[in-house]
Amino acid sequence: MPSYPPAPLHMIDLIRKKRNGGALDAREIGFLVAGAASGSIPPEQLAAWLMAAWLRGLSLDETRSLTLAMRDSGEKFSPARLGKVAVDKHSTGGVGDKTSFLVAPLAAACGLVVPMISGRALGHTGGTLDKLESIPGYRTALSLQEFETVLEKCGASIVSQTPSLVPADRVLYALRDRTGTVECPGLICASILSKKLAAGLDAVVLDVKTGSGAFLRNQEDSEYLAALMVSTTEAAGTRAVALLTDMGEPLGHAAGNWIELVEAVELLRGQRPAQSEDLRELSLILAGWMIHLGNQAATPEAGYARAEAALADGSALRIFFSMITAQGGDISVFDNPAAFHKPGATQVLAAAESGFVSEMDTTYLGWAVQRLGAGREKAGEPVDPHAGIDFHARRGARVEQGEPLATLYATSPALLAEPIEILKDAIVISQTPPDAVPLVNRIFTRETAENYLQDAVR
């Protein structure tokens, strides 16, 4: 049999195939991703394919091919030269979620290297980069060479994505944002993991949020995404675990930019405010898994114990401060954090009645934080480092009428009114206490993820 060169591919055929419920093979996906990155496929064709993928879903094989093709669409970072196991943590996004500031130095203190490429505020959720940029001088836009230098010196570095890393995601994500095609498990999985895998990780711990403040509120959708991400990461040769964690209330007491860093540093200094216990516990659990998957502890529980020791002996705090200094930040602002905090306006919200805090609609609380000035109305706008909310009562707490529920910090007095009204609706007080919700409600390892996906009908 003579062998013929493969037939040339045409984007219109790939759109039709997906639209009709077919599955694209690795060559077709590679063609699409290369065309997205180079600009040779026009946005209207990419958008049509994205909508077909949203409506029809992506198979496991398509998701894997898409993830790998996107990973390979640009420059990659290789931490191998640093001679340590490289691990990271990724969260699907929440309100008050500042675990990155704890887990990165904790894992580094336990012998790992943590090359963390983070994002900005998205929708109602806060952004790690926006929070770090409240520290005067802190630079998030490092070159890959500078990134490597900070990692070598400190063991952890938290930076923004460079223009050349996963360029296909930049194009596809912007189109998804404008075409209503963000919430598709296969597309979310490929978008998140292509960036993690391009950072050359040996292992990644995925924190998949569930509950009222999560992007995917429904437990089943979160489970499917978690299992899909673990399976896709493992198939790419990187170890992974996913924890489904509660986002039915803000994590810790602070939600904003500067005030979140202050809360994280309090914990790194060994303080234990009661309102931060969930944050401390989740950070130790996530760090424990990072340390275990990075081969520095035989079990996640042993990893937890090592992380707790690094918190107690101050080594994680030293690493966090050395990272900030290496990236140009001025750590003297942590000498007197209250003096640095200068919001344009402050208002305390008091409980309208006595009872138990039974529900917190955390997506709305997140919008309130963003509208105080902590987030953006339009891409590229600056954010206010000092805006945010300090929550004084957690879900389940007994409160008396007139007791403070939250303190709001805004850029200006005019920005207080709407968030105050949001909080009045979003924080529900009832006469009976709510059921307790576990912090971690399910864990997917390679084995449990594969079993779950075999049973899942999608």
Can you tell me whether residue 34 is helix, strand or coil? helix
Q: How far is the CB of 94 from ligand URA (least distance, A)?
A: 12
C-beta closer to ligand URA: residue 209 or 253 = 209
- Residue 35: count of CB within 10 angstroms of its CB: 19
**Token pair of 321, please?**
């401060």
CB of 194 to ligand URA, least distance (A): 9
Beta-bridge mates of residue 116: 158
Nearer to ligand URA, 172 or 268 (CB): 172
174: CB partners within 8 A, 6+ apart: none
Residues 81-100 that bind ligand URA (CB under 6 A): none
Q: At what angle do helices 258-268 and 315-326 cross, to 10 degrees?
A: 140
Give the contact letters, 18-57, x = binds to ligand URA (CB under 6 A), - = no: ----------------------------------------
Q: Which residue is nearest to ligand URA, using beta carbons?
A: 191
End-to-end Cα spacing for the chain: 39
**Cβ-based nearer residue to ligand URA, 72 or 308:** 72
Nearest alpha carbon to residue 403 among 349, 326, 347 = 349
- Segments in 6-133 forming alpha helices (H): 11-19, 26-38, 43-56, 60-71, 100-109, 128-132
Shortest Å, Cβ 298 to ligand URA: 32
> 119 to 158, contacts with ligand URA by CB under 6 A?
none
Of 41, 87, 116, 188, the residue at the interface with ligand URA (CB under 6 A) is 188
Q: Which among 186-194, 324-332, 375-383, 441-449 is the span making contact with ligand URA, rule CB under 6 A?
A: 186-194
DSSP code of residue 373: I
Taking the complex as a whole, how short is the minimal distance between the CB of residue 188 and ligand URA, in angstroms? Answer: 4
Angle between the N-to-C axes of helices 300-312 and 315-326, in degrees from 0 to 180, rounded to the nearest 10: 80
Catalytic residues: 90, 169, 176, 191, 195
Q: Which is nearer to ligand URA, 120 or 253 (CB)?
A: 120
Smaller CB separation from ligand URA, 54 or 304: 54
Count CB neighbours of 248 within 10 A: 18
- Close Cβ partners of 323 (under 8 Å, ≥ 6 residues apart): 104, 105, 150, 154, 156, 157, 158
Q: Which among 2-10, 39-47, 187-195, 237-245 is the span making contact with ligand URA, rule CB under 6 A?
A: 187-195
CB of 125 to ligand URA, least distance (A): 9
Cα 434 to Cα 450: distance, rounded to the nearest angstrom:
34
Among 100, 191, 232, 233, binds ligand URA (CB under 6 A): 191
Site stretch for ligand URA (CB under 6 A), options 184-192, 246-254, 301-309, 411-419: 184-192
Dist. CA 282–CA 270, nearest whole Å: 15
Structure tokens at 437: 């919700």
**Least separation in angstroms between CB 192 and ligand URA:** 5
- 456: how many CB neighbours lie within 10 A of its CB? 13
# of chain residues touching ligand URA (CB under 6 A): 4
Distance CA 457, CA 54 (A): 16
Which DSSP category does 351 fall into?
P
The first and second tokens of residue 229, run together, are 């991400």
Amino acid residing at 319:
I
Stretch that binds ligand URA, among 20-28, 185-193, 285-293, 308-316 (CB under 6 A): 185-193
CB closer to ligand URA out of 231 and 296: 231
By CB under 6 A, name the one of 114, 192, 290, 399 that touches ligand URA: 192
Amino acid at 229: M
- Least spacing, CB of residue 119 vs ligand URA, in Å: 6
Give the residue with the Cβ less far from ligand URA, 155 or 375: 375
In this structure, what DSSP letter does residue 252 have?
A: S
| CA angle (254 as vertex; 95, 173 as ends), nearest 5 | 30
Q: Which is nearer to ligand URA, 177 or 400 (CB)?
A: 177
CB 36, min distance to ligand URA, A: 14
The residue ranges that bind ligand URA (CB under 6 A) are 182, 188, 191-192
